[in-house]
Amino acid sequence: MWLETIDFVQQNPDCFERWLTIGHITGSAWIVDNSHKHVLLMHHRKLDRWFQPGGHADGDPDIQQVALKEAQEETGLTDIQAVDSKLFDIDIHLIPANSKDTAHLHYDIRFLMQADRNEPLKINSESKNLAWVLLEDVYRYNDSESIMRMVKKMKIISKIFE
């Protein structure tokens, strides 16, 4: 996925624009609590599935800032911190056609972020629900390869912090 994403960016100067109909870069935040044992998931209204917060770059090439902005908007959290500036994960997934858009690919760039689990969450128009979920229970919400790959990475990182 890394090489495919690099190729996509090199071949599409407008890769950060939502209007690029073949696909575009998106930014997501894998938000863990201070113990690194819980992750924040949102029940996406349009797709009716649980995912990490994230969204469109709308022309902004600072994709980590995009991921942070989307995470704040979609969760209501005000104090989200990037764990570091390195990429946590990359995923390429198909977004099905809907009344506004044709089917297209999201080249999702994901960053590891941290927040206080005690800060109140606020559901917005893009989500049905928000939940802090134990890493061991994430599969009950979404057991896709993409999500489970991030769970595995987080379990490795958590052992380092023990």
**pLDDT given at position 158:** 78
For the chain, domains (ranges, CATH) are 2-161 (3.90.79.10)
Pairing mode of beta strands 104-114, 23-32: parallel
Q: Kindly report the number of other CB atoms within 10 A of residue 73's CB atom.
A: 15
What would the pLDDT profile of 62-98 be if each residue is shown by its tens digit?
A: 999 999 999 999 999 999 999 988 999 999 999 989 8
Q: Which amino acid is at 147?
A: I
What would the pLDDT profile of 107-123 be if each residue is shown by its tens digit?
A: 999 999 999 999 999 99
**pLDDT given at position 1:** 81
Q: Quick one: DSSP state of residue 34?
A: T
What would the pLDDT profile of 12-46 be if each residue is shown by its tens digit?
A: 999 999 999 999 999 999 999 999 999 999 999 98
Q: What is the pTM of this model?
A: 0.93
**pLDDT given at position 10:** 97
Cβ(82)–Cβ(60) below 8 Å: no
**pLDDT given at position 28:** 98
CA pair distance 14, 45, nearest whole angstrom: 27
What would the pLDDT profile of 2-16 be if each residue is shown by its tens digit?
A: 999 999 999 999 999
